[in-house]
Chain A
Amino acid sequence: DAKTTQPTSMDCAEGRAANLPCNHSTISGNEYVYWYRQIHSQGPQYIIHGLKNNETNEMASLIITEDRKSSTLILPHATLRDTAVYYCIVRVGVNRDDKIIFGKGTRLHILP
């Protein structure tokens, strides 16, 4: 079973910041938080990951709470092309081979 809980769906106005929450209260000390997204009928796309520090890349920012039990993915200026299902995943970090267990994700609708 997935170790994360996400809202089923969210709406966000185009141009605004989209904040997608994720709960992972049973996360272990060596598990990273990963985010992927899947645009309709395409393969999932890697967005960002982090262990305990906040992370930022060209796509998004990841804010992880100090107790690591929850996180928020931030898309700073959402566009219509960001409409997708967003998956929050926890998995063991580098130097280990491991599978990704996907939950149901959050369906994000960007509204014009």
Chain B
Amino acid sequence: ETGVTQSPTHLIKTRGQQVTLRCSSQSGHNTVSWYQQALGQGPQFIFQYYREEENGRGNFPPRFSGLQFPNYSSELNVNALELDDSALYLCASSLPGYEQYFGPGTRLTVT
């Protein structure tokens, strides 16, 4: 059984650019959730995808968007990057309502 994987591990972008982060869910899981974790804080919920449709969204602006593919892998896209977008981005996969299993995260630095 393969766990949750994320790519890339680290990324450096310039303010105003766009970024795409990727997540492969654990085998058999059809739900993917994305979280942003700023330094020293707990993870904050961005949104969740269930069977390719958005299924809940946290308090993040529309420039944060996502996709889920038929194989249940997922992308997080962030447009017009701001300095405050620098954070660890985590994805978690699960079956609906069950415990979520997290990937190692992507560390995004915006300069």
Which residues in A have some Cβ–Cβ distance to B below 8 Å? Answer: 2, 34, 41-46, 49, 85, 87, 92-105
B105 CB to nearest chain A CB (Å)? 5
Q: Check A97/B48 contact, CB under 8 A, given A87-B42, A104-B41.
A: yes
- A2, A49, A98, A101: residue with the most chain B Cβ atoms closer than 10 Å: A98
Q: Which residues of A contact B97 (CB under 8 A)?
A: 92-98
Q: Check A46/B33 contact, CB under 8 A, given A97-B48, A100-B45.
A: no
Q: Check A102/B56 contact, CB under 8 A, given A43-B4, A43-B90, A97-B97.
A: no
Q: Which residues of A contact B88 (CB under 8 A)?
A: 41
Contact B100 A100 (CB under 8 A): yes
Residue B58 lies at the interface, judged by CB distance under 8 Å to chain A = yes
Interface residues of B in 38-77 (CB under 8 A from A): 41-45, 48, 50, 55-56, 58
B49 CB to nearest chain A CB (Å)? 10
Q: Which residues of B contact A42 (CB under 8 A)?
A: 104-105
B111 CB to nearest chain A CB (Å)? 20
A71 CB to nearest chain B CB (Å)? 16
Q: Check A43/B44 contact, CB under 8 A, given A97-B31, A99-B56.
A: no
Complex CA distance for A45 and B99, rounded to whole angstroms: 10
Q: Which residues of A contact B41 (CB under 8 A)?
A: 104
A48 CB to nearest chain B CB (Å)? 9
Q: Check A95/B104 contact, CB under 8 A, given A43-B90, A102-B43, A102-B44.
A: no
Contact A43 B42 (CB under 8 A): no
Q: Give 6 CB contacts A-B under 8 Å.
A: A44-B102, A97-B31, A97-B56, A98-B97, A103-B42, A104-B42
Known: A34-B99, A44-B90. 7 other contacts (CB 8 A): A44-B43, A46-B99, A46-B100, A85-B42, A95-B96, A97-B31, A97-B50
